[in-house]
Amino acid sequence: MRLSNYNECIFCGSSKLKLHFNQNFTHNFYTIAIKNDFKLSDGFFKKMKIFECQKCHTIQNNPWFSKETSFKIFNEVYGQHNRNWSNVINFFQNGIKPNHGKLFYILNKNLKIRNYCEFNVPFMGLMIDFFSQEYRENINFYKNIFNYSLKYLSSRQVAGMKKASIKKKQKEAKKNLNKLEEIKIKNKLKNNIKKSIIIDNSYLSWLYNDNYKSVNSRSLASKILDIEIEDFNLIKKTKRYDLFGIFHTLDHTHQPKKILDFALNNSKYVLIYCHSDQNLEKQHLFSFTDKFESYLKKKKFFCKNITFEIEKKTKSKEIYLLCSKFYEINLKL
């Protein structure tokens, strides 16, 4: 297997990359899977050095896996986005929402959100919070809606079956879809906020194999959570959002600046949740750092670090940045 060179900053394009002070390498769940499946040595990983962009302070591995290998990593080696699915299962089976501290409460109180969008992965951000606001709080309802959705989506998988079985599956699909629609109407509290996910099919992100019980997370999102899935390449420039959420996905696209620029240009506010670590693991091409905030401010964006304000209990080094191209950020807590 050959490594590819990434001599320019993947975020801002600058070639001013400096060897980073921290060249720490330890294996984790992901790198062990990559090592085993591709039959690599530790020496292979150690060839990847960490560089820091002197302009935007992104840290980046160079050399790193080729695009083709990276696609394989995200779609074969560990195609399922574990945290994404844990969030789904925790909520629809136990009623526990993804932990973002008081983030949803604060944003909801301060911003008028009628049109909300997230990027690439459906269950890492606030979609479940919006769902729980729109439907009655009832654990049986949550369990049922999840089950009917999984059953409906998987009952369409009939390849290789005999005619009689296909007919049976068709009946099942109809029954589960009807049940799903019925309980949604019964438990609906208020009108939907317009919700969408923009996807860019990046080779740095989970796609076709982000499945649980053979159901893809994006298919589930659109069924259960009334979310429109839209392709970034086909999106109209006239789209407007009140809030655009980017939850650990800006470092999982090969075009992070293009995505962030789109979000900032087309939304009143943009929430960026990302790592702020000076330690870059080898399964990641790049990561933002705690200096990303000062870079955005230098670029004349309004930007407020609200990590402290949301009072989330976590040990990981991460930041929540609320940004805007148009509005100053004044939050009532």
> Which spans of this chain sit near Zn ion (rule: CB under 5 A)?
9, 11-12, 14, 53, 55-56, 58
Helices within the chain (DSSP H only): 29-38, 42-46, 67-72, 82-94, 103-110, 127-134, 139-154, 163-187, 217-224, 256-266, 292-298
Which one, 13 or 95, has the nearer CB to Zn ion?
13
Which one, 78 or 301, has the nearer CB to Zn ion?
301
Cβ at position 288, least distance to Zn ion in Å? 10
Cβ at position 234, least distance to Zn ion in Å? 28
Cβ at position 74, least distance to Zn ion in Å? 23
Q: What's the distance, Cα to Cα, between the start and end of the chain in Å?
A: 52
Cβ at position 54, least distance to Zn ion in Å? 8
Q: Which helix (H) or strand (E) holds 329?
A: none
Cβ at position 94, least distance to Zn ion in Å? 41
Pairing of strands 241-247, 267-275: parallel
CA 168 to chain centre: 36
Tokens of 180: 């799903």
Cβ at position 276, least distance to Zn ion in Å? 15
Q: Give SS3 for 223.
A: helix
Which one, 14 or 80, has the nearer CB to Zn ion?
14
Which one, 262 or 286, has the nearer CB to Zn ion?
286
Cβ at position 9, least distance to Zn ion in Å? 3
φ and ψ at 239, to 5 degrees?
A: -60, 135
Residue 247 CB-density burial (10 A; 0-12 exposed, 13-18 middle, 19+ buried): buried
Which one, 12 or 193, has the nearer CB to Zn ion?
12
Tokens of 17: 């990359």
Which one, 45 or 295, has the nearer CB to Zn ion?
295
Which one, 53 or 215, has the nearer CB to Zn ion?
53
Q: How many helices (H) and strands (E) does the chain have?
A: 11, 15
Which one, 9 or 280, has the nearer CB to Zn ion?
9
Peptide bond into 63 cis (omega under 30): yes
Cβ at position 4, least distance to Zn ion in Å? 18
- CA nearest to 22, candidates 279, 275, 277: 279
φ and ψ at 329, to 5 degrees?
A: -105, 110
